[in-house]
Structure 1
Amino acid sequence: MIGKGHSISRTGASIAYGWNQEKEAEVVLKEYLAGDTPVEITEEFKIIQSQNQRCTNNTLSFIVSPTVEDGKNMSRKDLGEIAQKFLQEMKLTNHQVIAFVHRDKQHTHIHIYANRISLTGEVYKDNFIGKRSQLAADNVAKELGLTRVREVQRERLQELNGIRQEIRKIHEKVLGSRPKSLNAYIRLMQDHKVKMIPIINKSHQLQGFRFEFKGVNLKASEVHRNMSGNRLIAEILQNRSWSRSIEAPKSLQILDKTVQLSASLTTKIGKELIKGVIKRALDTGIGM
């Protein structure tokens, strides 16, 4: 089971989407609410939200998705129990909540909308809400004996094994030409129809990369662990004549932009560069 979450400002439009009858929407949970339409529910949210006018993203939106196999035979009651336990894990039991199931696709999933302002006026802290949603869904799956997120990810990667192998072969071919810069690597990958996408965090720092090929989008480490951003950057740096240095860069040129590296990525690159220096020293010694 997978959980996703973020804060939103468009309460009414989001609840209306959740209640969309074209998606065979069905209410599976409703807490501290009396309304029977999206407009009525939104107005009830606004009454509580008026206690804190400074909070603009004042609604929390979650999607909780059991696997296709787990979800296809679940009843309204089963899905309501998942929603309730998820909210308990997220510590949102003192908040207005409405949850809908959508069955318009093969993959049954639950949309949950919670008022970010509690019944007593406190603002729910939304830092790392995406990660916390994943953990909450995983804990619920474990408690209910459902397929957990790691198993879902493993199944997905297994299904995409052919694509992953193709990307890796192209990557190895491109590295074999010893590109001297990340830009050169990106252009060579693009020549083979593989698009490389930088992952930039909220601080506008580079964290890693994703690869897009034949309509499939994967993190570099999902393609293969040897393709993680720190290993890739270190290997390209070592193709340069001055790369015997073990000092990791603080920024990189990616196409037409200079991008700062996150502290964690810089540290990892530094470790890879040290490994490279040690390996060259050992190889040189063996060859003597």
Structure 2
Amino acid sequence: MELKVSTKDYSVTKEDFDLYYDTDREMLITKPQPENLARYYQSDKYISHTDSRATLIDRLYQFVKRRNLKNKIQSIDKQGVKDKSLLDFGAGTGDFLKAAEARDYKVLGIEPNAAARQKAENKGVTLVSNLEELKEKGFGVITLWHVLEHLPNLDEQISGIKQVLDKDGLLVVAVPNHRSYDAAYYKEFWAAYDVPRHLWHFSRTSIEKIFAKHQMKVVGTKPMRYDAFYVSLLSEKYKGNHLYFFNAFWIGMWSNIKAIFTKEHSSIIYYLKNTN
């Protein structure tokens, strides 16, 4: 594999990591991949586990999250879901599940982080720590919102997720796109690399290839346009740019404009179904 990018964990440890290009799957792979990944999540800076509103960027994250919740549910409804039992894999602090429950979905979530699970439970959301704890085995919808890139043993994890998805169920996967304009612009500072928490860095083609191996097919996609702005904001901060808000707005806007023609948005939602 060819070395493509040398970057670092800008948000927590400042440790260095490399991204290698996997030609067969058209994706980037983080190396080294630490055995103890948990310590890279044990920080107040890892916002999806904290519900923090301490800084301007934290507040913007929470604003974008609230706007996205409605969009996520509506996008699933448009896929013609019949069985409204929903499993959210990597549920964080449970806000998506609360929103789905309000739209009459029967919900359950998986979240390995104990602190995040406690915050979700305080909101009345039931979470388990892993797939093995599930008592129910058939879900009409399984969602992974910016989660797939975090999972070690990728093929094994996908196989396990598929086993608890109904045969006619819908799998929803949202991931960053390393072929987006903002990724090319920010290079090693691109915040969506988020090493080493992100072990894999996908393209549209890599998602198709990885899931085809598991007899699953992409039946639709949807861009996550807000992500271009938020990722650009963090990337400007990592570059040390004090005018980060102004620059991030224009790079995020330009990334979305270019993606109208290239389809290479900063983040993409993929809708997948079984082919067997």
Q: TM-score, structure 1 length as denominator?
A: 0.22
Greater RCO (Cα-Cα under 8 Å, separation 6 or more): 2
Q: TM-score, structure 2 length as denominator?
A: 0.23
Computing the radius of gyration over CA atoms, which structure comes out larger, 1 or 2?
Answer: 1
Q: Which structure dedicates a bigger proportion of its chain to helix?
A: 1
